[in-house]
């Protein structure tokens, strides 16, 4: 198994100027004819990628080629002595119904759909399937009109109709694009239609295509699409560039969605939403993913990536853009908190483990394994740091320069860097290390006050621990947004410092000795700040005018006291509630009216997995017991306050999904969790019955499933009966049980794995059960090892049909070094059992072997 290395990049021997595709579509046997207009670009033979294609014919400049003129193997078709200008025609047969990998052309329900990023197009036809080959496409489709009346592809529609029961359509995309952005849909779908006029007056027809009956649940997605189109014009001056924009929803989909030019294909989970069946979180996810895929039209499609090592060039940038969009729709501080919570829970953890990799990796076995939070979320932080360092105005001009210079081209992260450097005098050379160095920098600090000189000196130190293949780290260029507060918490100075050295001091002349320093405001860099005293954290939690840091100070404070309690528990002492934590939670409740959504975030105690990250040897049992004890003790100590908040915020209309209504529900549900811990399931049961929407219903159910007994059983039964026929809601029924703290969770997850509604071909369903289970650390790390075995069994089953999804679950076992020797042994044994399988996919092999290394 040979890795692909960035250092080996070579330009393609041929560019494809134009490609004409003809599809005779049928689920079991689809014929694809391709006509490629080739132009030499660099020395070498013509090499076309192709997998699982049955080659029917091949001709060059009109001459059929005998099999002595080409070499064909499992992955490619190579032709020597091709002229510098040539037309290549191939014809292949494929079987979409047998395609369980959901990459390439496949069936879902009764329809046919494609997913080509990153390397799915090679399963459709022979082609140089690499992003630096950009071609213009013309696509013709024919299919049985009774089953596939709707035929969609990229770009503009030239014609469509039905003749003798055969539907046909022809599409043309005027913009050159890489093969991974090709898309095709042939299905019996209906659409919600609308239109958008761009600021220069282009009228764009918008369509969201879904299964009959789902039209009514597309309104939110359509609204989000129009808001995104407007936002990108207002904020970045970027306008849509075709006359049609279609979105098609599909139930079986490996990813969340895909930004194919003019024809985004979406997992139904990120399109369909109404208050009855979708939670507030679902609504926000729809908004975010619609925006994300739309924004790719410029950052991804018009400007694409030279090779897959540059993946973060489009993904990090586009996540940054969707984060900014979302924070403009809702509360910026709450959005920042949610994003950082995710970054810490996933990316920081990966960065500290055996699968750590840089934002631009240097090598991979299987690129599908690199659609990670490092590429996406850390990549977004890297983009945000440019803006923090050079300023908003300069950043906006840098973006313009980047797009202007790389339009219709395949770019690298250096191109982005160069665009930013071109509009600032600040030396950004050192900044490139953010792309090349893996690991999360740790920051420590010292402060001193010189009374005579009236100067305050802040000394910052940075250190990044070794990661696989990178034993030595260099100091990074880190923007440190600080605020100096006086003794009563008022801000006396704010500034963004640039930390460049391993250790560096900054001196400020001030009218008075500062009371506290607030560091890394709004999380100005993806680092871990160490060494803040509890007194300092309590002060900042109460006073910091930077809302993010106020939240963070409380989180850090809570982590510190909960970890103390874990240590106490480990030596057999009883739990006692920290008074400072109680006071901080009480203050949050008192202030809740000011910003309910913020209060809801502040009330959530640090996640078990986050507490685990700060332990030398993780003790999942102790962490769980302590966190639960704290929730219960807080619920009891502040019972009246929680009750008051729960009553006070009960008035949001069930179908109101505005920011304030969502904030009110989030706050109430946070209170419900404390009340249930303290007083049992009565409140949750009442909310379950009275719930006017899915947010309230699911929150109630989440609290009810922790306690075995009739209340749980009847709620689960009622929920199942009501939603049996709605796949997305049934996913929630699976995950709520997999996340349960109840004593019988393991056996229930085992039973659900063979439930009639379990569907291994459907990634959403698999994630709903297994993904949710691995996000339940206490149960997954059950000391019997049964959780590990359950996971490994699933990986092995899934690896045969959908390696992309199977491999992802392996990462949960990659944390073995952090646990006690018994759990280490059990986790390693499962990794070894996975690796022992003959015919293991490259996907799973790469992650399992790296996890063990």
The nearer residue to ligand B3K, 330 or 370, going by C-beta atoms, is 370
Give whichever of 132 and 293 is closer to ligand B3K, judged by the CB atom.
293
Query: Any contact of residue 293 with ligand B3K (CB under 6 A)?
Result: yes
- Cα–Cα distances (Å) from 431 to 308, 434, 502, in that order, read 21, 6, 14
Q: How far is the CB of 299 from Zn ion (least distance, A)?
A: 9
- Classified as helix, coil or strand, 420 is helix
Residue 117 binds which entry of ligand B3K, Zn ion, none, with Cβ cut-offs from 5 to 8 Å by kind?
A: ligand B3K
Q: What is the Cα–Cα distance from 491 to 148, expressed in whole angstroms? A: 64
Phi, psi of 431 (to 5 degrees): -65, -25
Choose one: 42-50, 203-211, 290-298, 716-724; the region binding ligand B3K (CB under 6 A): 290-298
Q: What are phi and psi of 275, to 5 degrees?
A: -65, -25
Residue 844 Cβ, how far from Zn ion at the closest point, in Å? Answer: 23
Task: For residues 145 and 591, give the distance between their C-alpha atoms in angstroms, rounded to a whole number.
Answer: 61
Task: State the Cα torsion 602-604-605-611 to the nearest 10°.
Answer: -100
Structure tokens at 404: 């202007």
Q: Are 772 and 810 in contact (CB under 8 A)?
A: no
Task: Choose the contact partner of 182 out of Zn ion, ligand B3K, none; CB within 5 to 8 A by kind.
Answer: none
- Nearest CB to ligand B3K, comparing residues 4 and 742: 4
* Inter-CA distances, 526 with 385, 590, 683, Å: 9, 31, 39
Which of 187, 206, 186, 184 has its CA nearest to residue 196?
Answer: 206
Tokens of 228: 């995104």
When asked if residue 844 is in the footprint of ligand B3K (CB under 6 A), the reply is: no
Identify each DSSP E strand in 104-202 by its residue range. 104-108, 111-115, 134-144, 150-153, 156-163, 166-178, 184-187, 190-197
Of positions 171, 182, 295, 371, contacts ligand B3K by CB under 6 A = 371
Instruction: State how far the Cα of 3 lies from the Cα of 717, in Å rounded to an integer.
Output: 49
Q: Which member of 99, 299, 329, 368 binds ligand B3K (CB under 6 A)?
A: 368
Give the closest residue to 14 by CA, choosing from 104, 103, 77. Answer: 77
The continuous run of DSSP H or E covering 560 comes out as helix 547-570
Q: Which stretch binds ligand B3K (CB under 6 A): 82-90, 250-258, 407-415, 680-688?
A: 250-258
Which single residue brings its beta carbon nearest to ligand B3K?
255
* Adjacent-strand bridge partners of 150: 187
Task: Please report, as residue ranges, which positions from 304 to 363 form the binding site for ligand B3K (by CB under 6 A).
Answer: 315
Q: Residue 258 CB, nearest distance to Zn ion (Å)? A: 8
Taking a C-beta distance cutoff of 8 angstroms, is the pair 427, 402 a contact? no
- Is residue 195 flagged as an active site residue? no
258 vs 558 by CB, closer to Zn ion: 258
Distance CA 322, CA 51 (A): 34
Q: How far apart are CA 2 and CA 582, in angstroms?
A: 55
In the complex, least distance from residue 304 CB atom to ligand B3K, rounded to whole angstroms? 11
Whichever of 15 and 318 has its CB closer to Zn ion, that residue is 318
Three-class HEC string of 576-645? CCCHHHHHHHHHHHHCHHHCHHHHHHHHCCCCHHHHHHCCCCECHHHHHHHHHHHHHHHHHHCHHHHHHH
- Decide whether 299 or 470 has the Cβ nearer to ligand B3K: 299
Per CB under 6 A, does 267 bind ligand B3K? no
* Vertex 565 angle, CA 334 and 569, to 5°: 140
Q: Which of Zn ion, ligand B3K, none does residue 252 bind to, with CB < 5 to 8 Å depending on kind?
A: none
By CB under 6 A, tell whether 366 contacts ligand B3K: no
State the nearest-atom distance from the C-beta of 292 to ligand B3K, in Å: 5
- C-beta of 839: minimal distance to Zn ion in Å? 31
Cβ 257 to ligand B3K shortest distance, Å: 6
- CB 515 within 8 Å of CB 560: no
Give the range of 289-297, 332-340, 505-513, 771-779 binding ligand B3K by CB under 6 A.
Answer: 289-297
The count of other CB atoms within 10 Å of the CB of residue 775 is 18
Residue 808's Cβ-count burial label (10 Å; 0-12, 13-18, 19+) is buried
Please list every residue from 113 through 132 that binds ligand B3K, using CB under 6 A: 117-118
Under the criterion CB under 6 A, does residue 291 sit at the interface with ligand B3K?
no
Looking at beta carbons only, is 277 or 284 nearer to Zn ion? 284
Q: Smallest gap, in angstroms, from Cβ of residue 842 to ligand B3K? A: 14
CB of 117 to Zn ion, least distance (A): 9
User: Are the C-beta atoms of 191 and 210 separated by less than 8 Å?
Assistant: yes
Euclidean distance between CA atoms 670 and 464, whole angstroms: 36
Q: Of the ranges 183-191, 223-231, 254-262, 482-490, which one interacts with ligand B3K (CB under 6 A)?
A: 254-262
Instruction: Using the minimum distance from each CB to Zn ion, give the nearer residue, 318 or 844.
Output: 318
Query: Cβ of residue 315: shortest distance to ligand B3K, in angstroms?
Result: 5
Q: Whose Cβ is closer to Zn ion: residue 129's or residue 315's?
A: 315
Q: Among residues 315 and 578, whose Cβ is nearest to Zn ion?
A: 315
Q: What's the closest the beta carbon of residue 319 comes to ligand B3K, in angstroms? A: 8
Residue numbers at the binding site for Zn ion (CB under 5 A)? 315, 318
Backbone angles phi, psi at 473, to 5 degrees: -115, 150
Positions in 79-118 near ligand B3K (CB under 6 A): 117-118
Q: Is the peptide bond before 118 cis (omega within 30 degrees of 0)?
A: yes
Binding partner of residue 830 among ligand B3K, Zn ion, none, CB cut-off 5 to 8 Å per kind: none
Span interacting with ligand B3K, options 252-260, 344-352, 424-432, 736-744, rule CB under 6 A:
252-260
Minimum Å gap between C-beta 222 and ligand B3K is 19
Bridge partners (DSSP) of residue 106 are 113
The active-site residue out of 89, 117, 211, 293 is 293
Smaller CB separation from Zn ion, 101 or 315: 315
Report the residue from 51, 177, 292, 808 that binds ligand B3K according to the rule CB under 6 A: 292
- Measured from the CB atom, the residue of 372 and 740 that comes closer to ligand B3K is 372
b/e sequence 317-353, b meaning 16+ C-beta within 10 Å: bbbbbbbbbbbebbbbbbbbbbbbbebbbbbbbbbbb
CA pair distance 284, 329, nearest whole angstrom = 10
Cβ neighbours, 10 Å, residue 425: 7
CA atoms within 13 A on the CB side of 559: 21
Outline where 330-426 has alpha helix (H).
Answer: 332-342, 349-351, 373, 379-390, 392-406, 413-421
- # binding residues, ligand B3K (CB under 6 A): 13
Binds ligand B3K by CB under 6 A, chosen from 34, 134, 186, 258: 258
| Separation CA 801–CA 762 (nearest Å) | 11
Contact residues for 719 (Cβ-Cβ < 8 A; gap 6+): 697, 701, 733
Nearer to ligand B3K, 371 or 816 (CB): 371
Return the residue of 173, 211, 259, 351 that touches ligand B3K, per CB under 6 A.
259
CB of 830 to ligand B3K, least distance (A): 24
Q: Which residues of the chain form contacts with ligand B3K (CB under 6 A)?
A: 117-118, 254-255, 257-259, 292-293, 296, 315, 368, 371
Residues known to be catalytic: 293
């Amino acid at each position: 198994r040979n890795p692909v290395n960035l250092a080996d990049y070579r330009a393609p021997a041929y560019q494809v100027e134009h490609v004409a595709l003809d599809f005779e579509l049928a689920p079991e046997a689809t014929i694809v004819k391709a006509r490629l207009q080739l132009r030499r670009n660099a020395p070498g033979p013509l090499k076309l990628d192709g997998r699982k294609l049955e080659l029917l014919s091949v001709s060059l400049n009109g001459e059929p080629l005998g099999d002595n003129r080409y070499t064909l193997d499992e992955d490619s078709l190579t032709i020597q002595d091709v002229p510098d200008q040539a037309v290549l025609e191939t014809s292949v047969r494929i079987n979409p119904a047998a395609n369980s990998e959901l990459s390439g052309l496949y069936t879902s329900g009764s329809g046919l759909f494609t997913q080509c990023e990153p390397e799915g197009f090679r399963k459709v036809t022979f082609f140089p399937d690499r992003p630096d080959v950009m071609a213009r496409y013309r696509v013709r489709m024919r299919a049985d009109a009774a089953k596939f009346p709707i035929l969609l592809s990229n770009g503009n529609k030239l014609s469509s109709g039905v003749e003798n029961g055969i539907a046909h359509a022809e599409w043309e995309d005027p913009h050159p694009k890489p093969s991974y952005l090709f898309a095709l849909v042939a299905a019996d779908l209906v659409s919600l239609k609308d239109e958008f006029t761009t600021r220069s007056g282009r009228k764009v027809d918008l369509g969201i295509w879904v299964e009959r009956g789902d039209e009514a649940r597309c309104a939110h997605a359509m609204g989000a699409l129009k808001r995104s189109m407007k936002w990108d014009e207002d904020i970045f001056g970027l306008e849509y560039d075709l006359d049609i924009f279609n979105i098609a929803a599909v139930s079986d989909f490996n990813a969340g969605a895909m930004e194919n030019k003019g024809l985004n294909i979406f997992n139904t989970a990120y399109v369909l939403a109404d208050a009855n069946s979708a939670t507030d979180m679902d609504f926000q996810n729809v908004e975010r993913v619609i925006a994300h895929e739309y924004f790719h039209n410029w950052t991804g499609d018009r400007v694409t990536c030279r090779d897959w090592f540059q993946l973060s060039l489009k993904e990090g940038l586009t996540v940054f853009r969707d984060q900014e969009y979302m924070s403009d729709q809702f509360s910026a501080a709450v959005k920042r908190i949610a994003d950082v919570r995710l970054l810490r829970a996933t990316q920081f953890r990966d960065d500290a483990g055996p699968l750590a990799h840089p934002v631009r990796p240097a090598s991979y076995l299987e690129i599908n394994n690199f659609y990670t939070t490092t590429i996406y979320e850390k990549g977004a932080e890297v983009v945000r740091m440019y803006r923090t360092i050079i300023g908003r105005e300069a950043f906006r001009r840098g973006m313009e320069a980047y797009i202007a210079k790389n339009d219709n081209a395949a770019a690298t992260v250096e191109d982005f860097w160069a665009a930013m450097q071109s509009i600032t005098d600040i030396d950004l050379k050192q900044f490139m290390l953010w792309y090349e160095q893996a690991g999360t920098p740790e920051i420590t600090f010292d402060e001193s006050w010189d009374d005579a000189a009236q100067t305050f000196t802040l000394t910052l130190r940075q250190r990044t621990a070794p990661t696989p293949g990178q034993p030595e780290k260099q100091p990074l260029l880190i923007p440190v947004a600080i605020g100096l507060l006086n003794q009563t918490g008022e801000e006396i100075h704010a500034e963004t410092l640039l930390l460049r050295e391993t250790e560096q001091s900054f001196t400020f002349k001030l009218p008075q000795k500062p009371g506290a320093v607030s560091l890394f405001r709004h999380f100005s860099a993806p680092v871990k700040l160490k060494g803040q005293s509890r007194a300092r954290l309590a002060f900042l939690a109460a006073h910091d005018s930077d809302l993010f840091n106020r939240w963070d100070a409380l989180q850090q404070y809570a982590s510190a006291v909960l970890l103390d309690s874990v240590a106490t528990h480990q030596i057999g002492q009883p739990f006692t509630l920290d008074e400072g934590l109680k006071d901080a939670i009480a203050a949050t409740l008192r202030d809740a009216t000011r910003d309910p959504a913020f209060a809801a975030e502040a009330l959530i105690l640090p996640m078990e997995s986050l507490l685990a990250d700060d332990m030398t040897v993780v003790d999942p049992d102790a962490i769980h017991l302590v966190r639960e004890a704290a929730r219960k003790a807080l619920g009891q100590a502040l019972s009246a306050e929680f009750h008051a908040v729960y009553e006070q915020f009960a008035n949001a209309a069930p179908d109101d999904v505005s920011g304030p209504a969502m904030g009110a529900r989030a706050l109430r549900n946070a209170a419900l969790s404390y009340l249930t811990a303290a007083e049992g399931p009565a409140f949750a049961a009442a909310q379950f019955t009275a719930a006017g929407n899915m947010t309230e219903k699911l929150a109630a159910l989440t609290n009810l499933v922790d306690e075995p007994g009739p209340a749980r059983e009847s709620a689960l039964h009622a929920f199942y009966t009501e939603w049996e026929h709605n796949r997305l809601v049934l996913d929630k029924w699976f995950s709520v049980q997999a996340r349960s703290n109840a004593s019988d969770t393991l056996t229930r997850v085992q039973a659900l794995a063979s439930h009639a509604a379990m569907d291994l071909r459907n990634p959403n369903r698999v994630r709903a059960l297994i993904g949710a289970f691995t996000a339940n650390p206490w149960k997954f790390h059950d000391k019997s090892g049964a959780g590990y075995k359950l996971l490994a069994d699933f990986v092995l089953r899934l690896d045969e049909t959908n390696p992309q999804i199977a491999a992802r679950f392996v990462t949960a076992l990659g944390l073995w070094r952090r646990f006690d020797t018994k759990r280490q042994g059990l986790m390693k044994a499962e990794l070894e059992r996975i690796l022992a399988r003959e015919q293991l996919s490259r996907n799973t092999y790469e992650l399992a072997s790296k996890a063990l290394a």
